[in-house]
Amino acid sequence: MGYFIVGGNAMSHKLTEQEFNDRVFKKYYGKVKATEFKNTRERCNAECLICGYKWNPKVSNLLRAKYNECPECHKKHIIRPKNRKPNKRRNEKEVLQEIFDRFPYLKCLGGVFKNLQSEYDWFCENCGSYFKKSLENVLQTKYGCSTCAYKICGENQKQDLDELQKRLDELQPGITYDRSSFITMRKHATFYCPIHGELRTTPDNMLRYGCKYCGHEEGGRKHRSDAEEIAKRIYDIYNGTILLDTTTFIGVIYDGDFECTVCGHHWRNLVASVLHNEAGCPMCSSSKLEKPIYELLLSKMKEDEDFIYDKALADCKMEDSNLSLRPDFLFTKYPLVFELDGISHFLATNGVASLNRTKQRDAFKNNYFKQRNYILIRIASDTAFNKGVVDINKWYTLNKLIELINIGISDNGAINLEVFRPYDFNRTI
- The secondary structure of 389-428 as a DSSP string is -S-TTTEE-HHHHHHHHHHHB-TTS-B-HHHHGGG-TTS-
Instruction: Report residue 10's pLDDT band, with 50, 70 and 90 as the boundaries.
Output: very low
Q: How far apart are CA 319 and CA 363, in angstroms?
A: 13
Q: Is residue 139 pLDDT above 80, yes or no?
A: yes
Confidence of residue 337 (pLDDT cuts 50, 70, 90): very high
What share of the chain in percent tops pLDDT 70? 86
Does this model's pTM top 0.85? My answer is no
**Contact of 319 with 363, CB cutoff 8 Å:** no
Residues 265 and 285: their CA atoms lie apart, in Å, by: 12
Residues 6 or more apart in contact with residue 43 via CB below 8 angstroms: 56, 57, 58, 59
Q: Is 367 helix (H, G, I), strand (E, B) or coil?
A: helix
Work out the mean pLDDT of the chain and round it to a whole number.
Answer: 81
| Residue 181, pLDDT score | 80
H or E segment to which residue 15 belongs: strand 9-15
Task: Give the model's pLDDT for residue 86.
Answer: 57
The C-alpha atoms of residue 180 and residue 215 are separated, in whole angstroms, by 26
**Cα dist. 77→53, 61, 62, 72, 80 in Å?**
15, 20, 19, 9, 9
Answer yes or no: is pLDDT of 158 > 90.
Answer: no
The radius of gyration of the chain's CA atoms, rounded to the nearest angstrom, is 44
pLDDT, average across residues 145-168: 72
- How large is the angle between the packed helices 398-408 and 290-298, nearest 10 degrees? 10
pLDDT at 241 over 70: yes
3-state percent helix, strand, coil for the chain, nearest multiple of 5 = 40, 20, 40
Beta bridge partners of 168: none
Minimal CA–CA distance to 249: which of 221, 223, 218, 215? Answer: 223
Which position has the higher pLDDT, 327 or 250? 327
- Strand ranges inside 315-382, DSSP E: 329-331, 336-341, 375-380
Cβ contacts of 156 within 8 Å, gap of 6 or more: none
Of 32, 35, 34, 40, nearest to 11 by C-alpha is 40
Q: What is the pLDDT of residue 376?
A: 92
Residue type, 380: A
Confidence of residue 8 (pLDDT cuts 50, 70, 90): very low
Structural domains of the chain, ranges and CATH numbers in brackets: 2-77 (no CATH), 92-152 (no CATH), 160-210 (no CATH), 218-276 (no CATH), 290-423 (3.40.960)
46 in Cβ contact with 32 (< 8 Å):
yes
Amino acid (1-letter code) at residue 318? M
Distance CA 289, CA 340 (A): 7
Taking only the tens place, the pLDDT of each residue in 265-285 is 787 888 877 877 666 677 665
Q: Where are the beta strands (DSSP E) in 202-298?
A: 242-244, 255-260, 266-270
Q: Are the CB atoms for 21 and 4 separated by under 8 Å?
A: no
Closest by CA position to 161, among listed 134, 184, 186, 128: 184
Amino acid at 344: S
Other residues' Cβ atoms within 10 Å of the Cβ of residue 36 = 11
216-238: per-residue pLDDT in tens?
A: 666 555 555 577 888 888 888 88
Q: Output the DSSP codes for 61-80.
A: HHHH-SSSS-HHHHHHH---
| pLDDT tens per residue, range 170-211 | 888 888 888 778 777 778 888 888 888 888 888 888 888 888
Render pLDDT for 283-314 as a digit per residue (tens, 0 to 9).
665 556 788 888 888 888 888 888 888 888 88
